[in-house]
C-alpha cells in the first residue's frame, strides 16, 4: 500500500478504505487526536489513536513537529471542523521532535520571529501559502511566454559587465589554494584572476537577452540577479529573481502592452489556481487589520484587490505629466513628502510613486519618457526633445503597495547614438564590443523589461516585507541560511 497525500483525502467519499498518511504533527490533543500536515494542503488531517491499546511510550513521542506515519481506516468524522479522519491501526514515529526545543508551537508566531527561523518557517500555514503562490506564479510566467513562442534563455550569473551601469555589483573572487587550509594568521587569500579579468555577479540578464532577441526574435530570462545596494527596505533584496523578456521589432507601446498582459495573466493564474492559499492569506490580512488601530492604513480585501487590478487598464502617462501632478499635489504643497518635487528632472522616490498609484489614480500606472540623465545608457533617446529636456523611452510600472514592479524600455538601436552615450557615461566601450555588434550587424528596433519576481509575489500574497516572499532572503548584514 502506498502513501496518500492529505489533499487527496479531504474530499474523499469512499469511507472504509485503508490509507497510509505521512507528515508532521501539528498538534496532539487528549492523547488521542493527532493533527497531521504533509504540506500538500493547508489543512491537517485528524488521525485518531486508540490510546488504551497503544503503547504509552510511543504516544509520548507524538509531539509537535515530529514526523509520523499512520495507517488506518478512512472514516467520516463526527467531530467539528473536518469531514474525514483516520482511525489509526498503526502508528510509527519516523523522526522525533523534542517538544521543549522545537521553536514552532501551535500558536500564532510573528513574521519577525519566523524570519529568524527561516529554515523551519516552511512548516507554517502562512509560508506554505506564500511559497505555493510563488511556485504557481513562476509556473505561470513560463506558461505565458511558452504559449507565445518566446524562447527561455539562460543568461550567465557570472559576468564581466555592469548591465545597469550603476556599479552596485558583487565581485567574484576565488580562494587562493596556496593559502589553504589557512595562512599562519588564520586568514585565506583571495584571487580575482580566475577569468583573466574582473568579474561580478549579474545585476540583470538584459544585455545577453538582447543578443538572443536579435536572433530568436522573442526571448526571456528568469533567473537570480544580485545587487549590492545598501538599501534596508521592505522592497529590496541583495539577491532577487527577475523575469526579463526582450523582443525584436517591438516599440515601447508593444512593450507596455506585453508587460500589462503578462501581469494580468499571472495574477489571473494565481486567482484560478491558488484559491485556498489566497483565501487563507486574505483572512490573515483581515485579522491583522482588525488588530491595528482604527486610524491606521486599511488594506483592501486581497482577492478584491487582485480582481480590481485585472479589470482596469493601467494608467499610462509620461514622466513630465507625472511631475506636474506631483508638484501640485497636496503632500508636496504641504511639504509632507520627504523629498519635495520642485523641478523637472528629479528622480521619483517610492513615496511619489505610491502617491500616484494609491492616492491619485488609485490603480496601476505606467510612466514613460523619463529624463535621460536618471535612466540607463541603453535606453532609446527620444527624437525632438525640447532643449534641455532630453528624455528616453523608458517605462516603469508602478503598483499599489509596492511602487516600481517593472522597469523597462525601448532600446537604443542606433550605433552612433549608443556609443556616444556610453562614452559620455565612461562605460568601457572597448570591453562591450560584443554588445555593440548587435547594432553593427542588422540592428533593429527592440524593447524589453524586467519584472521583479519578489515584488510580484509581494503584491499577489499581500505580504508586506520582501523577506517573507523568498525562502532565504539576502539583505545587508543578513545571509544566515
Ligand atoms: O529597474 P531595474 O533595475 O531594470 C533592469 O534591471 C533592466 N535591465 C530590466 C530590463 O529592462 N530587462 O530592475 C527591474 C525590476 C524592478 O522594477 C524591480 O521590480 C526589481 O527588478 N528590482 C528589485 N527587486 C528586489 N530587490 C532589489 N534590490 C531590486 N532591484 C530591482
Ligand atoms: Mg528601475
Nearest-angstrom CA–CA distance, 79 and 77: 5
**The C-alpha cell that represents 270 in the structure block:** 494565481
Ligand 1 atom having least distance to the Cα of 237: 26
Q: Which residue has the cell 516585507?
A: 465
Same domain for 311 and 162: yes
Answer whether residue 208 is part of any domain. Answer: yes
Domain assignment present for residue 185? The answer is no
Query: What H or E segment, with its residue span, contains residue 274?
Result: none
DSSP 355: I
Residues in contact with 178: Cβ distance below 8 Å, sequence separation at least 6, in sequence order: 189
Q: Domain check: are 273 and 381 in the same one? A: yes
- Say how far apart CA 259 and CA 242 lie, in whole Å: 13
Looking at the 3D structure of the chain, how many domains does it have?
2
* pLDDT tens series, the chain, 481 aa: 899 999 999 999 899 999 999 999 999 999 999 999 999 999 999 999 999 999 999 999 999 999 999 999 999 998 888 899 999 999 999 999 999 999 998 888 999 999 999 889 999 999 999 999 999 999 999 999 999 999 999 999 999 988 888 889 999 998 887 777 777 888 888 887 889 888 999 999 999 999 999 999 999 999 999 999 888 999 999 999 999 999 999 999 999 999 999 999 999 999 999 999 999 999 999 888 777 655 444 456 999 999 999 999 999 999 999 999 999 999 999 999 999 999 899 999 999 999 999 999 999 999 999 999 999 999 999 987 766 789 999 999 999 999 999 999 999 999 999 999 999 999 989 989 999 999 999 999 999 999 999 999 999 999 999 999 999 999 999 888 8
Question: Can you state the percent helix, strand and coil of the chain, rounding each to 5?
Answer: 35, 25, 40
341 part of a folded domain = yes
Cβ-based burial of 256 (10 A; exposed 0-12, middle 13-18, buried ≥19): buried
ipTM greater than 0.85: yes
Residues 39 and 144 in one domain: no
Residue 131 and residue 84 share a domain? no
Q: 117 lies in a domain?
A: no
Q: Do residues 348 and 293 both lie within one domain?
A: yes
DSSP letter (8 states) at residue 165: S
Which structural domain range is residue 90 located in? 6-104
Q: Among the atoms of ligand 1, which is closest to the Cα of residue 229?
A: 28
Same domain, 98 and 130: no
CATH number at 135 reads 3.30.930.10
Q: Do 233 and 95 fall into the same domain? A: no
Which ligand 1 atom sits closest to the C-alpha of 227?
28
**3-class DSSP state for residue 171?**
strand
**Residue 443 and residue 384 share a domain:** yes
Name the grid cell of 348.
Answer: 521619483
182 within some domain: no
Residues 406 and 333 in one domain: yes
Give the nearest ligand 1 atom to 203 CA.
6
* 119 belongs to a structural domain: no
Let me know whether 78 and 138 are in one domain. Answer: no
DSSP H or E segment with residue 450: strand 446-452
Q: How far is the CA of 450 from the centre of ligand 1 (A)?
A: 6
Q: 41: domain CATH number?
A: 2.40.50.140
Instruction: For residue 433, report the distance from its CA to the centre of ligand 2, in Å.
Output: 25
Tell me the CA–centroid distance for residue 417 and ligand 2, in Å. Answer: 22
Q: Say yes or no: CB of residue 369 within 6 Å of ligand 1.
A: no
Instruction: Please say whether the beta carbons of 337 and 287 come within 8 A.
Output: no
Same domain for 279 and 346, yes or no, is yes
| Cell digits of residue 223 | 533567473
Residues 234 and 212: their CA atoms lie apart, in Å, by 34
Instruction: Classify residue 116: in a domain, yes or no.
Output: no
Could you tell me if residue 188 is inside a domain?
no
pTM for the structure as a whole: 0.95
Helix, coil or strand: residue 95 = strand
Tell whether 220 and 136 lie within a shared domain: yes
Helix/strand/coil for 351: helix
Strand extents, DSSP E, 4-160 = 18-29, 33-37, 45-48, 67-76, 84-95, 151-152, 158-159
Residue 286 buriedness (CB in 10 A; 0-12 / 13-18 / 19+): middle
Our mutation pick for probing the ligand 1 site, out of 455, 460, 478, counting the most ligand atoms within 8 A of Cβ, is 455
CB count, 10 Å around CB of 82?
A: 15
Residue 335's alpha-carbon distances to 306, 328, 330, 340, 453, in angstroms, are 32, 11, 8, 7, 34
Amino acid at each position: 500500500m502506498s502513501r496518500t497525500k492529505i489533499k487527496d483525502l479531504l474530499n474523499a467519499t469512499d469511507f472504509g478504505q485503508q490509507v497510509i498518511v505521512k507528515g508532521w504533527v501539528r498538534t496532539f490533543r487528549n492523547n488521542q487526536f493527532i493533527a497531521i500536515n504533509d504540506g500538500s494542503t493547508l489543512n491537517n488531517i485528524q488521525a485518531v489513536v486508540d490510546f488504551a491499546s497503544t503503547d504509552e511510550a510511543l504516544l509520548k513521542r507524538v509531539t509537535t513537529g515530529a514526523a509520523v506515519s499512520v495507517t488506518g481506516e478512512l472514516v467520516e468524522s463526527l467531530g467539528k471542523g473536518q469531514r474525514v479522519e483516520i482511525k489509526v491501526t498503526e502508528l510509527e514515529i519516523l523522526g522525533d521532535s523534542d517538544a521543549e526545543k522545537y521553536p514552532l508551537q501551535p500558536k500564532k508566531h510573528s513574521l519577525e520571529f519566523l524570519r529568524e527561523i527561516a529554515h523551519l518557517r516552511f512548516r507554517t500555514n502562512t509560508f506554505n501559502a506564500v511559497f505555493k503562490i510563488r511556485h504557481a506564479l513562476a509556473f505561470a510566467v513560463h506558461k505565458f511566454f511558452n504559449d507565445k513562442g518566446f524562447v527561455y534563455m539562460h543568461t550567465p550569473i557570472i559576468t564581466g559587465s555592469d548591465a545597469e551601469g550603476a556599479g552596485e555589483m558583487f565581485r567574484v573572487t576565488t580562494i587562493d589554494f596556496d593559502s589553504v587550509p589557512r595562512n599562519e594568521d588564520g586568514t585565506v587569500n583571495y584571487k580575482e584572476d580566475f577569468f583573466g579579468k574582473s568579474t561580478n555577479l549579474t545585476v540583470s540578464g538584459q544585455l545577453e537577452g538582447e543578443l538572443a532577441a536579435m536572433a530568436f526574435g522573442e526571448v526571456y530570462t528568469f533567473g537570480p540577479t544580485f545587487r549590492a545596494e545598501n538599501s534596508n527596505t521592505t522592497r529590496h533584496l541583495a539577491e532577487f529573481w527577475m523575469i526579463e523578456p526582450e523582443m525584436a521589432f517591438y516599440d515601447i507601446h508593444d512593450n507596455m502592452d506585453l508587460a500589462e498582459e503578462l501581469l494580468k495573466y499571472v495574477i489571473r493564474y494565481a486567482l484560478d489556481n491558488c484559491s485556498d492559499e489566497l483565501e487563507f492569506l486574505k483572512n490573515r490580512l483581515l485579522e491583522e487589520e482588525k488588530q491595528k488601530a482604527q486610524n491606521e492604513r486599511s488594506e483592501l480585501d486581497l482577492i478584491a484587490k487582485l480582481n480590481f487590478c485585472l479589470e482596469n487598464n493601467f494608467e499610462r502617462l509620461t514622466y513630465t505629466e507625472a511631475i506636474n501632478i506631483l508638484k501640485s499635489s497636496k503632500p508636496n504643497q504641504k511639504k509632507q513628502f520627504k523629498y519635495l518635487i520642485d523641478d523637472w528632472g528629479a528622480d521619483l522616490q517610492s513615496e511619489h510613486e505610491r502617491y500616484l498609484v494609491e492616492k491619485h489614480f488609485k490603480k496601476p500606472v505606467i510612466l514613460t519618457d523619463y529624463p535621460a540623465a536618471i535612466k540607463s545608457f541603453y535606453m532609446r533617446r527620444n527624437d525632438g526633445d525640447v532643449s534641455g529636456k532630453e528624455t528616453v523611452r523608458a517605462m516603469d510600472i508602478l503598483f499599489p503597495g509596492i511602487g516600481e514592479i517593472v522597469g523597462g524600455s525601448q532600446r537604443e538601436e542606433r550605433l552612433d547614438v549608443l556609443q556616444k552615450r556610453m562614452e559620455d557615461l565612461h562605460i568601457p566601450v572597448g570591453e562591450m564590443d560584443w554588445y555593440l555588434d548587435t547594432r553593427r550587424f542588422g540592428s533593429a528596433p527592440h524593447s524589453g523589461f524586467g519584472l521583479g519576481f519578489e515584488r510580484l509575489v509581494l503584491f499577489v500574497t499581500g505580504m508586506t516585507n520582501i523577506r517573507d516572499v523568498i525562502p532565504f532572503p539576502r539583505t545587508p548584514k543578513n545571509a544566515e541560511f
